[in-house]
Amino acid sequence: MDQVKSMKKKADLELASGDYPQALQSYTNALKRMIKIYEIDENNGIRIDTIDGDSRMEAKIFSKRSIVLLQMKQYYYAYEDARHVTDICPEWFKGYLRRANVESDCGLYEASLKNYQLALRYLSSELNESKRNHYDRQINEKINYQLFLMQRERIYDYQLIWLGTAIGMVFGMSIVFVDFVKNRTDSFINNPMLKLLLIGLCSIIFYYLTSFQRNYSHTWKKKLLERPTGHGDNNNNNDDKSEYETREKID
């Protein structure tokens, strides 16, 4: 365990200095050193042993590596590491804090709010008063900010739909006006009802276009936490994936 702690300390310094690729490598090496896999018979499959049974140290390393991966915009892997923290230590607040940070960066404010609330709920009594107050203040600030972002997003979604409808109406009126200027009484939409119908049709089309854009935006945010499917996109993405898979192979 001394070697694992030394490797973690080195990785912590690399994280603090902003050397994220090297910190990722160091945290992964620490996990590789810590976790042993032993093959046994076919009925029992694989047994996983952690040195000294120190699950808290394992959770700490995953927690730190989640920070690194988030800084590198590797949202899926950052979230998976955070999920491992809550699996290993379900009553440790930092796992929920890491999950919430990733969700917030992806724009999933309702999900992040729930995990910030869980982090606050599990805020450890083993922390000294100064640290507990620090985290309490920090998490409450994040909760308030998520509420603000949720409200802003709802207002934006509402305004977007009606803005699209208004643009459609203006677009339809422009067509009617240009047609009137060019063709006068020979207009193909000389009938007032046809003009109103055209304006209404343009409004409906733009309404659905902006609705589609809004729904696509929400879907895209959720896809940020899905497993990357591309292969051979570039060497950096492949390297990030291979560094992450230490725990994934075990699960």
Position 246 pLDDT exceeds 70 = no
Encoding tokens for residue 58? 């394992």
Encoding tokens for residue 206? 């733009």
Q: How far is it, in rounded angstroms, from Cα 150 to Cα 153?
A: 5
CA angle 163, 166, 168 (to 5 degrees): 110
Return the pLDDT at 247. Answer: 45
27: number of Cβ within 10 Å: 30
Residue with tokens 């109406």: 169
Q: How far is it, in rounded angstroms, from Cα 142 to Cα 39?
A: 44
Query: Domains of the chain by range and CATH?
Result: 2-106 (1.25.40.10), 154-217 (no CATH)
pLDDT, tens digit, for every residue of 163-178?
999 999 999 999 888 8
Q: pTM above the 0.95 mark?
A: no
